[in-house]
Amino acid sequence: MTGVYSLLPEGRHSLLAPLGGGEDIDGYLAAGGYAPLAAPDRLLDRIAATGLRGRGGAGFPAAVKLRAVRDAPPGPRVVVANGEEGEPGSVKGRWLLRHRPHVVLDGLRLAAAMTGAERGFVYLSDDRAEQAVRQALTESAPEVRIDVVRTQHTYVAGEESAVVRAVDGGPALPTAKPPRPFESGVGGAPTLVANVETLARVAVMYSRPDEADSVAGAHLVTLSGAGPAGAALAEVPAGTHLKVLADLCGHGTATAVVLGGMFGGLYGEGWTDLPLDHDRLKEAGGALGCGALHFLRPEDCPVGVAAEATAYLAAQSARQCGVCVSGTGALAATLAAAARGEAGHDSVDKLRRWSQQLPGRGACGLLDAAARIVGSLLAHFPDRVDAHRRSGCPACEGAAPENGRRFTVPVP
């Protein structure tokens, strides 16, 4: 089932409302949007109390990032709405910017008030999103100066240090850390880089304080899979089981799922019992990431899916870190050989060792994603990997390289 859906309880505000429609400035103002913020610290305390986490992928507490920029030494501060989705299977950022630009801009100007920033940016790569944001800026005239920065769509372009580098006029490529953007970001100023969904939730938490807890716990998720069932964008309450989400978009017979875009890895038996929750997914060896879920049909081969994912990540490497270039290349080449039934007798040992040794060694999360894909494949599908090594697989034999197209989802 393709489309846009809200699974929130009746009466709760959804970021996807009006479902599939646009956002009217008069309606947004009438609903309490762009209201003056008289007590920024009180809103920041509310955000901390709800436990709101960033929606860009890492799930870092939003209040901690806000306070880090606010409490930096005296001087200019900057806030950035990050609308660049590196994961090809995620569409929530582009949808929000296209259809609800005011709620994102409202969240950005609230973030500026909480941090003391006098300058803001919206960072994106989508044509329709850019048009909507520029139109919204002419309608709203926020208190803080906000500019739009256009970038190229790549896997690493949305990483926070790449965002800073691009806003400063450089290439959208990650840099070594420290310093982090909250220490030294755009123009050397402490900078908050926040995902657009995070900022939208901040805006709703301010205009609807009675719903703050439910707003902080809900998630926008992109649901996809191969075959005719298609893809969907949904807003769901915290703790929603993955089986419910698979049923929603017509993938109820799935036998496995790729979690969190490509960052969360592959999960096989037992995936239907997993809830949409950062901590529970981490305990299970996965990750929620950006909230993109790709379901595998019974006829889909997990080895072939993992091979396509690692090949895509290897091609998307920024090619700045030698360990990333060699690591993703080795993972992709060895897994591709395994999918063809051509891997050597020691290939499984190599893949297992690399998946354990490579995480944390690159400047961004791309290498970690590739390692997690491989490590989770070995953990959940060891028999399938071994069968490929010994005799190949009919589903994988002769399959043409897809270059990540399996995971690419159009914006509904």
119-124 vs 232-236, strand pairing mode: unpaired
Per-chain mean pLDDT for the chain: 91
pLDDT cut 70: percent of the chain above it: 96
**363: pLDDT confidence band, cut at 50, 70 and 90?**
confident
Choose among 166, 103, 106, 10: nearest CA to 93.
103
Location of structure tokens 């993938």: 251
Is the pLDDT at 1 greater than 80? The verdict is: no
- Check residue 403 and give its pLDDT: 67
Phi-psi region of 45 (alpha: psi -120 to 50; beta: other; left: phi over 0): alpha
Q: HSE (CB half, 13 Å, CA atoms) of 119?
A: 12
How many helices (DSSP H) and strands (DSSP E) are in the chain? 16, 10
Express each pLDDT in 238-260 by its tens digit: 899 999 999 988 899 999 999 98
Q: How many CB atoms lie within 10 A of CB 387?
A: 16
To the nearest 10°, the Cα dihedral for 256, 261, 262, 263?
-110
Q: How many CB atoms lie within 10 A of CB 407?
A: 22
Is the pLDDT at 340 greater than 90? The verdict is: no
Q: Is 389 exposed, middle or buried (0-12, 13-18, 19+ CB in 10 A)?
A: buried
Q: In what order do the strands lie in the sheet with 232-236?
A: 3-6, 232-236, 219-225, 292-296, 256-258, 266-267
Grouping H, G, I as helix, E, B as strand and the rest as coil, residue 61 is strand
Taking the CA atoms of 357, 359, 362 and 367 in sequence, report the sign of the dihedral they define: positive
Is the pLDDT at 396 greater than 60? The verdict is: yes
- Check residue 174 and give its pLDDT: 93
- Check residue 226 and give its pLDDT: 80
- Check residue 393 and give its pLDDT: 78
Grouping H, G, I as helix, E, B as strand and the rest as coil, residue 71 is coil
- Check residue 261 and give its pLDDT: 85
148 vs 166: CA distance, rounded Å:
12
- Check residue 263 and give its pLDDT: 85
Where in the chain are the domains? 8-215, 220-296, 302-394
Is the pLDDT at 390 greater than 80? The verdict is: no
For 302-394, CATH gives 1.20.1440.230
Strand residue runs (E) in 160-249: 191-195, 219-225, 232-236
DSSP state of 399: P
Is the pLDDT at 408 greater than 90? The verdict is: no
Is the pLDDT at 194 greater than 90? The verdict is: yes
Q: Is 161 exposed, middle or buried (0-12, 13-18, 19+ CB in 10 A)?
A: buried
For 220-296, CATH gives 3.10.20.600
**401: pLDDT confidence band, cut at 50, 70 and 90?**
low
| Architecture field, domain 8-215 | 3-Layer(aba) Sandwich (3.40)
- Check residue 412 and give its pLDDT: 84
- Predicted structure pTM score: 0.95
Is the pLDDT at 18 greater than 70? The verdict is: no
| Amino acid, res. 10 | E
Is the pLDDT at 20 greater than 70? The verdict is: no
- For the ranges 104-118, 126-140, 391-405, the lowest mean pLDDT is seen at 391-405
**372: pLDDT confidence band, cut at 50, 70 and 90?**
very high
**337: pLDDT confidence band, cut at 50, 70 and 90?**
confident
